[in-house]
Structure 1
Amino acid sequence: MATTIGMMDAAYFVGRNEILAWINSTLHLNLSKVEEAASGAVQCQLMDAVHSGMVPMHKVNFDAKSEYEMIQNYKVLQDVFNKLKITKHIEVNKLIKGRPLDNLEFMQWMKRYCDSVNGGIMSNYNAVERRDACKGSKEANKKAAPSQSTVRSSSSAPKTQASHGAKKSDIHAVNSSHKATKPATNSATQAYDEQITELKLFVDSLEKERDFYFGKLRDIEILCQNPEIEHLPVSPILL
């Protein structure tokens, strides 16, 4: 199985929203930005999902905040790559900086790889249960997709609803209105964040181009200020 993918491969044209939806649905998380996976813990669990028992989940730290802690996660990931003879180079120094483009490209590769293993089917994989062995799992599970907690809360709702009467229904109506508006707000915020990220990347490329041409103009200016330029021999023009 080829583990090196060219930059013009279709895998690198998969958008942020699709990548986020894939991560969240597979691991029962609720990430809003791809760079939230910069610690390497998410990548480790994705490999655990497609290669059961291959990843020592007790060594994975979902609460990694310092560069040292993140590097430890990537060491776990690299060990898994080595065992599976995956030749993909992990640019750890770039990924732990949390730069959106670097993390997006690595996640695009991860999705392509996971899809190539058994067609991307991860049947009977309990992401929350597997994550319990990790450091920081409690905090990560709090951010899990709401479907897990909604099922638990809905089972106890019928017992209390009748006793509270009209007041309970009024509160429920208010909460429902908030829930109805919240997804729209989140989606709008995410769209703005993506636009800001793209603009930042565009500005970076413009600044590099500006610096390049400025350097060339500066070289010409220094050359013109050299008094010896007047005494340089001029080659005759061949007609």
Structure 2
Amino acid sequence: MGATTIGMMDAAYFVGRNEILSWVNNTLELSLSKVEEAASGAVYCQLMDVVHPGMVSMHKVSFDAKSEYEMIQNYKVLQDVFNKLKIGRHIEVSKLVKGRPLDNLEFLQWMKRYCDQINDNQVNSAYNAAERREACKGGKETNRRALGMGYSSQSSNKPASSASVKASSGAARRVTTENMNPNMNGNGRGGGSAGTNVNAAKHMKDLGKEQVSAVNEDYVKQITELKLSVESLEKERDFYFTKLRDIEILCQAPELSHIPVVKAVQRILYAAEDEPSVIAEAKAMMEESDRDMLSPGSQNMDDNNDFLGRGSREH
């Protein structure tokens, strides 16, 4: 089954947003933190450029698009590519430009499935995403932001580390001085209070370690509980997905696909997320089928009349 015709219950639509964002960022050398950041359409255009080099008019793509009008221009470029490649996937531009997370996540999930099929799950190592983006409006600024974010994430721990080193060094010097001068008080004169101060400092240090250890244990416990909860939810999701997938396969069987109830089930399976009337439509399909079966002139009615006619002649 091609990516352009995959059903809503396909495994492609169960890929999480973190995995999707990681795939987009690695493929396009970007630093997206939310799926709705792809709403302008520029990311979708460049993903198509990865798998079909030269097919996308990158100079017409704007990574700086802010208004819906500017975003729609990007989607026109994308639609032109879809038309050239005869891709039957419908682009719901009016929803995507609103920046709603679920709509953009679903389209990115489909994009990943399509790109994986074209590239046979391989990364196009020859593609230079930053260089291709240079031709786009706002592409250079996007590259600078992506580069800055990458550098920032790599160096974010350096100030804390330096501060820790300085603090540790200062503490080490104070402890060394105290150990070398155990009888010196704060004014540099010998006295009995020095030992008390050292013991108090040691006690506070030990108390701090205990508190940190208790907090760490609490965090570990919470993380463990969350992991178990996620695993349980994933198992439940996979169970119901398998059942629905089996139903979908059964409904696609040629000998069953014409049956009204099967058509009604398919209507429910392939309904979009924002179609609240799908159950009513499925019931209407069933009722219409029943009327057709019982209406005068139908094959079933003719068969019934023939049967009744034969019975009366026999009597």
TM range (shorter): 0.5 to 0.7
Report the CA distance between 1:119 and its aligned residue.
1.2
1:50 corresponding residue in structure 2: 51
Report the CA distance between 1:173 and its aligned residue.
5.0
- Which amino acid letter does the alignment assign opposite residue 109 of structure 2? Q
In structure 1, C-alpha distance between the alignment counterparts of 2:162 and 2:112, rounded to whole Å: 36
2:131 corresponding residue in structure 1: 129
- Which amino acid letter does the alignment assign opposite residue 101 of structure 2? P
Deviation string 1:54-110 (CA, Å, 9 cap, x unpaired) is: 101000000000000000000000000011110000000000000000000000000
In structure 2, C-alpha distance between the alignment counterparts of 1:108 and 1:48, rounded to whole Å: 17
2:71 corresponding residue in structure 1: 70
- Which amino acid letter does the alignment assign opposite residue 88 of structure 2? T
- Which amino acid letter does the alignment assign opposite residue 134 of structure 1? C
Report the CA distance between 1:139 and its aligned residue.
2.0
In structure 1, C-alpha distance between the alignment counterparts of 2:72 and 2:161, rounded to whole Å: 43
Question: Which secondary structure state, in structure 1, belongs to the residue aligned with residue 90 of structure 2?
Answer: coil
Residues 177 and 12 (structure 1), Cα distance of their counterparts in 2 relative to 1, 3 Å cut:
farther
1:174 corresponding residue in structure 2: 159
The structure 1 segments of at least 4 consecutive aligned residues displaced by more than 3 Å after TM superposition are 145-150, 175-178
TM-score (norm 2): 0.48
Residues 63 and 6 (structure 1), Cα distance of their counterparts in 2 relative to 1, 3 Å cut:
same
In structure 2, C-alpha distance between the alignment counterparts of 1:100 and 1:15, rounded to whole Å: 12
Residues 18 and 78 (structure 1), Cα distance of their counterparts in 2 relative to 1, 3 Å cut:
same
Question: Which secondary structure state, in structure 2, belongs to the residue aligned with residue 6 of structure 1?
Answer: coil
Residues 52 and 173 (structure 1), Cα distance of their counterparts in 2 relative to 1, 3 Å cut:
closer
Contact 2:31 2:149 in 1 (8 A): no
Contact 2:41 2:75 in 1 (8 A): yes
Question: Which secondary structure state, in structure 1, belongs to the residue aligned with residue 113 of structure 2?
Answer: helix
Deviation string 1:24-61 (CA, Å, 9 cap, x unpaired) is: 00000000000000000000000000111110100000
| Structure 1 unmatched runs, 5+ | 155-171, 179-204, 209-239
Report the CA distance between 1:4 and its aligned residue.
1.8
CA RMSD of aligned residues (A): 2.7
TM-score (norm 1): 0.62
In structure 1, C-alpha distance between the alignment counterparts of 2:42 and 2:161, rounded to whole Å: 34
Contact 1:24 1:145 in 2 (8 A): no
In structure 2, C-alpha distance between the alignment counterparts of 1:38 and 1:10, rounded to whole Å: 23
In structure 2, C-alpha distance between the alignment counterparts of 1:96 and 1:46, rounded to whole Å: 17
In structure 2, C-alpha distance between the alignment counterparts of 1:56 and 1:174, rounded to whole Å: 43
| Structure whose alpha-carbon radius of gyration is higher | 2
- Which amino acid letter does the alignment assign opposite residue 102 of structure 1? D
- Which amino acid letter does the alignment assign opposite residue 76 of structure 2? K
Deviation string 1:183-234 (CA, Å, 9 cap, x unpaired) is: xxxxxxxxxxxxxxxxxxxxxx9xx8xxxxxxxxxxxxxxxxxxxxxxxxxx
In structure 1, C-alpha distance between the alignment counterparts of 2:132 and 2:71, rounded to whole Å: 19
- Which amino acid letter does the alignment assign opposite residue 144 of structure 2? K
- Which amino acid letter does the alignment assign opposite residue 144 of structure 1? A
- Which amino acid letter does the alignment assign opposite residue 13 of structure 1? F
Residues 104 and 145 (structure 1), Cα distance of their counterparts in 2 relative to 1, 3 Å cut:
farther
Contact 1:62 1:135 in 2 (8 A): yes
Contact 1:37 1:43 in 2 (8 A): yes
Matches within 5 A, 1:8-157: 8-120=9-121, 121-144=123-146
In structure 2, C-alpha distance between the alignment counterparts of 1:147 and 1:66, rounded to whole Å: 24
- Which amino acid letter does the alignment assign opposite residue 159 of structure 2? V
> In percent, how many aligned pairs have the same letter?
74
Deviation string 1:127-174 (CA, Å, 9 cap, x unpaired) is: 000000000012211222569769xxx9xxxxxxxxxxxxxxxxx952
In structure 2, C-alpha distance between the alignment counterparts of 1:60 and 1:5, rounded to whole Å: 28
Residues 173 and 113 (structure 1), Cα distance of their counterparts in 2 relative to 1, 3 Å cut:
closer
Residues 23 and 145 (structure 1), Cα distance of their counterparts in 2 relative to 1, 3 Å cut:
farther
In structure 2, C-alpha distance between the alignment counterparts of 1:173 and 1:15, rounded to whole Å: 31
In structure 1, C-alpha distance between the alignment counterparts of 2:9 and 2:162, rounded to whole Å: 45
Contact 1:11 1:112 in 2 (8 A): yes
